[in-house]
């Protein structure tokens, strides 16, 4: 089950389409959908979580808490809509594209993809692009 929660005045255009896409990406990787909660918020909200739970005094676009058990993918994913907007401008892409990239990025972490090294970042980006292509075909 995928739930979308909003701590700000923001709403996904199509929750059902987004949820189906996420589930499709999970299943294509050989995993199973568990319980995933997305919380869309602003910079201040996510900054407070970053400081309180991770002891990082920085802004970020996403923080995910992973509850995946084996192949059952689950967790809480907090996304700063403010950061996504800024990143879209910086990376010269649409807000929607950047938002979907961030949405699936958290899920890929749950499926054990990492992004600390350059090689890991490259694999992560390829997986993000594969999932974005699935979304764009629908």
Distance of CA 80 to the CA centre of its chain: 10
Is the pTM for the entire model greater than 0.85?
yes
Tokens of 77: 């994913």
* Residue 39, strand partner residues: 5, 78
Give every CB contact of residue 106 below 8 A, 6+ residues apart in sequence: 62, 64, 75, 77, 79
What pLDDT is attached to residue 138?
62
How many separate domains does the chain show? 1
Spell out the per-residue pLDDT of the chain, length 138, in tens: 999 999 999 999 899 999 999 999 999 999 999 999 999 999 999 999 999 888 889 889 999 999 999 999 999 999 999 999 999 999 999 999 999 999 999 999 999 999 899 999 999 999 999 999 988 876
Judge whether 105 is annotated as a binding position.
yes
Judge whether 109 is annotated as a binding position.
yes
What pLDDT is attached to residue 54?
85
Residue 87's nearest CA partner among 135, 21, 43 is 43
What pLDDT is attached to residue 137?
76
Q: CATH number for the domain including 32?
A: 3.40.390.30
Question: Which domain, by its residues, includes 70?
Answer: 2-137
């Amino acid at each position: 089950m995928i739930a979308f929660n909003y701590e700000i005045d923001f709403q996904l255009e199509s929750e059902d389409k987004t949820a189906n896409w996420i589930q499709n990406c999970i299943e294509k990787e050989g995993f199973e959908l568990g319980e995933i909660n997305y919380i869309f918020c602003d910079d201040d909200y996510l900054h407070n979580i970053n400081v309180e739970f991770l002891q990082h005094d920085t802004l970020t676009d996403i923080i995910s808490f992973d509850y995946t058990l084996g192949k059952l993918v689950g967790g809480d994913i907090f996304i700063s809509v403010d950061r996504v907007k800024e990143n879209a401008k910086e990376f010269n892409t649409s807000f929607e594209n950047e938002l979907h990239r961030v949405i699936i990025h958290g899920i890929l972490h749950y499926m054990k993809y990492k992004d600390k090294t350059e090689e890991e970042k490259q694999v992560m980006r390829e997986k993000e692009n594969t999932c974005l292509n699935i979304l764009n075909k629908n």
